[in-house]
Chain A
Amino acid sequence: MLTSILGPYTRTILTGVIIWITIVFCFTLMSNAYVGIFPFFEWMETTWFGIIGKTWGAAFAFVQTIHLLSLALLGGAVLAAEGRILGLLLTDVSAQIVIERCHVLLVWALVLLISTGVFMACGVALKVYYLPVFWYKMLALGTGILFHFYIRKPLFRFDLQQINPIVVKMTAIASILVWFMVAATGRWIGFSG
């Protein structure tokens, strides 16, 4: 449907539109949205997750451990796949096999990360609301998910030899950078406030 309207460069056009909307949103509507979303964060602290996270330190620590382990799993999957694409490691294994298997690991890591992350955010909802770095993390996480599923996966469906080598390297480096941003800003939240 979209292809018939936008022509053969649907993905490129939509990528440009998403980038443009994100930039415009950050410079215009974000302050209004920031104020509007405050009641949601207040509500998060009153949920069962919020109450358990605030009152039972052991539960928070247990969930945080799973969160950090899944972050490590995600980091490993990204570094292994992008390292293979950049020709730095696992060069004796087919790139497609490494990419496919690391994708499965990444999906599981993401599911664990998001589910434990929601629990943790409920426990400290008002703290993270006022932290700019939390919003950078959310931006990085959203970008990472979109980039992985909408850009990287369809690109590496093709044989690496068919793709322009500069695009291959740029995609691998961008993938490492975006997940590095997710991990670094995540740890930053832990050291803030």
Chain B
Amino acid sequence: MTESKNTDYQEQTEDEHLKDSQNSAFLAAATIILFSGVYWAIQIESVKELLILAYG
């Protein structure tokens, strides 16, 4: 009975760790993807504007 309770507790803790790791990974990955998208979009736009200024 006690052994079964311990196993349940361990499974629950492991499940919580997995959820925590997944949530933090989602938050961090979404921030990085968003920031990279915006940053490189601005850089590409800047190069386009410079090329237009230089060559019309």
Interface residues of A (CB under 8 A from B): 8-12, 14-16, 19, 136, 143, 147, 150-152, 154-155, 157-158, 162-164, 167, 170-171, 173-174, 177-178, 180-181
Contact = CB atoms under 8 A, between A and B. Distances in A.
A9 B30 contact: no
Which one of A143, A171, A180 has the highest number of Cβ atoms from chain B below 10 Å of its Cβ? A171
B31 interface: yes
B36 A178 contact: yes
Contacts of A150: 24
Contacts of A158: 18, 21
Given A19-B31, A177-B33, A177-B36, A170 B26 contact: yes
B33 A15 contact: no
Nearest 7 interchain pairs by C-beta: A174-B29, A170-B29, A174-B32, A8-B16, A12-B23, A15-B24, A11-B24
